[in-house]
Structure 1
Amino acid sequence: MISFFIAFYLLATLGIGFWASKKIKTSDDFTLAGKSLSTAFVGVTLFATWFGSSQIMGNPGFFIKNGFTSYFTLVFTNIICLFVVGQFYARKLYRMNLVTINDFFRKRFSKKLELTSSVIMVLSYPHWIAAQFVALAYLFHAVMGIPVNYGILLGAAIVVFYTYIGGMWAVAYTDMVQSIMIVLGMIILLYEVLHQTGGISPIFADQPKAFFRIFPKGGLAEWSDYLALLLAFTAGTIPVQEIYQRVFSAKDEKAARSGLFLGGLLLVIIPTIPLIIALGGVYVHPELLNAQDHQAIVPALVNIMTSVPVQILFYGAMISAILSTSSGAMLAPATVIGENLIKPYAPKLSDKRLLLYTRLSVILVALVSCYFAYSNADIVRLVEASLSLILVCLFAPFTFGLFWKKTSTTGAWAGVILGGGVWLFCFFYDTQMAPTIYGTVVSCLGVVLGSLVGPEKRGRD
Structure 2
Amino acid sequence: MLGLAASYLFFFTEQDVDWPAFASVSVFYAAIYYVGARAARKKKGEENDADGLMLAGRNLPIWVAIFTMSATWVGGGFINGTAQAAAESGLVWVQAPWGYALSLVIGGLFFARTMRRRRYRTMLDPLEEKYGKKVTAVLFLPALTGELFWTATILTALGATFATVLGIDLQTAIILSAAIAVAYTALGGLWAVALTDVLQMIILLIGLAIIVPFALDYGGGWSATYTAYGEKFGAAASFLPSREALGNDYWLWWDYALLLIFGGIPWQVYFQRVLAARDEKTAIWLSIIAGGICLMAAIAPVIIGMVSATADWTMIEAGAPPDASATLPWVVRYLTNPWVSLIGLGAVAAAVMSSVDSSVLSASSMGIWNVYRPLVDPGLPDSKLAKLIQRCIWITGVAATLIALQVESVYDLWVLCSDFVYCLLFPALVCALFDPKANKYGAITGFLVAAFLRFGGGEATLGLPAFLPYPVDFPFRTLAMLCGLGSILLVSRVSTGRGEV
Output the TM-score relative to the length of structure 1. Answer: 0.93
Shift of 1:100: 0.7
CA contact (8 A) 2:147 2:359 kept: yes
Mapped to 1, the partners of 2:91 and 2:397 lie a distance apart of: 34
Residues 1:384 and 2:415 are matched in the alignment? yes
Q: Aligned to 1:173, what secondary structure does the other structure show?
A: helix
Mapped to 2, the partners of 1:304 and 1:277 lie a distance apart of: 12
Shift of 1:312: 1.8
Divergent runs of 4+, >4 A? 218-221, 286-290
Greater share of helix: 1
| Aligned partner letter, 1:176 | V
Mapped to 1, the partners of 2:200 and 2:138 lie a distance apart of: 35
CA contact (8 A) 2:87 2:324 kept: no
| Aligned partner letter, 2:93 | S
Q: 1:191 to 1:457 in 2, by over 3 A?
A: farther
Mapped to 1, the partners of 2:293 and 2:239 lie a distance apart of: 24
Q: Which runs of 5+ in 2 are unaligned?
A: 1-19, 459-464
Correspondence 1:408-419 to 2 at 5 A: 408-419=439-450
- Residue of structure 2 in register with 1:16 after alignment: 35
- Residue of structure 2 in register with 1:279 after alignment: 306
- Residue of structure 1 in register with 2:294 after alignment: 267
Shift of 1:213: 5.5
Q: Aligned to 1:248, what secondary structure does the other structure show?
A: helix
Residues 1:446 and 2:472 are matched in the alignment? no
Residues 1:47 and 2:70 are matched in the alignment? yes
Residues 1:214 and 2:240 are matched in the alignment? yes
| Aligned partner letter, 1:313 | I
Question: Percent identity of the aligned residues?
Answer: 23
CA contact (8 A) 1:391 1:440 kept: yes
CA contact (8 A) 2:80 2:327 kept: yes
CA contact (8 A) 2:96 2:415 kept: no
Q: 1:137 to 1:214 in 2, by over 3 A?
A: same
Residues 1:181 and 2:211 are matched in the alignment? no
For residues 425-448 of structure 1, what are the alpha-carbon distances to aligned partners after superposition, in whole Å with 9 as ceiling and x for unaligned? 332326443552332132122122
Shift of 1:145: 2.2
Shift of 1:95: 0.8
Correspondence 1:67-106 to 2 at 5 A: 67-71=90-94, 73-106=95-128
Mapped to 1, the partners of 2:466 and 2:327 lie a distance apart of: 34
CA-based RMSD? 2.1
- Residue of structure 2 in register with 1:429 after alignment: 466
CA contact (8 A) 2:148 2:396 kept: yes
For residues 178-217 of structure 1, what are the alpha-carbon distances to aligned partners after superposition, in whole Å with 9 as ceiling and x for unaligned? 0000010011111223344454222222314412252152
Correspondence 1:100-249 to 2 at 5 A: 100-206=122-228, 207-208=230-231, 209-210=234-235, 211-212=237-238, 214-217=240-243, 222-249=249-276
Q: 1:164 to 1:141 in 2, by over 3 A?
A: same
Q: Aligned to 2:298, what secondary structure does the other structure show?
A: helix
| Aligned partner letter, 2:358 | G
CA contact (8 A) 1:82 1:260 kept: yes
Q: 1:113 to 1:456 in 2, by over 3 A?
A: farther
Mapped to 2, the partners of 1:70 and 1:220 lie a distance apart of: 13
| Aligned partner letter, 1:3 | F
Output the TM-score relative to the length of structure 2. Answer: 0.86
Shift of 1:412: 2.2
CA contact (8 A) 1:216 1:222 kept: no
Q: 1:385 to 1:333 in 2, by over 3 A?
A: same
For residues 311-369 of structure 1, what are the alpha-carbon distances to aligned partners after superposition, in whole Å with 9 as ceiling and x for unaligned? 22111011000111111111111000121112223133222211111111111111111
CA contact (8 A) 1:424 1:435 kept: no
Mapped to 1, the partners of 2:182 and 2:475 lie a distance apart of: 34
CA contact (8 A) 1:131 1:377 kept: no
- Residue of structure 2 in register with 1:355 after alignment: 386
Shift of 1:92: 0.8
Q: Which runs of 5+ in 1 are unaligned?
A: none
- Residue of structure 2 in register with 1:394 after alignment: 425
Residues 1:61 and 2:118 are matched in the alignment? no
Count of residues in correspondence between the two structures: 459
Shift of 1:101: 1.1
CA contact (8 A) 1:53 1:131 kept: yes
Q: 1:48 to 1:365 in 2, by over 3 A?
A: same
Mapped to 2, the partners of 1:344 and 1:260 lie a distance apart of: 30
Shift of 1:177: 0.4
Mapped to 2, the partners of 1:220 and 1:277 lie a distance apart of: 26
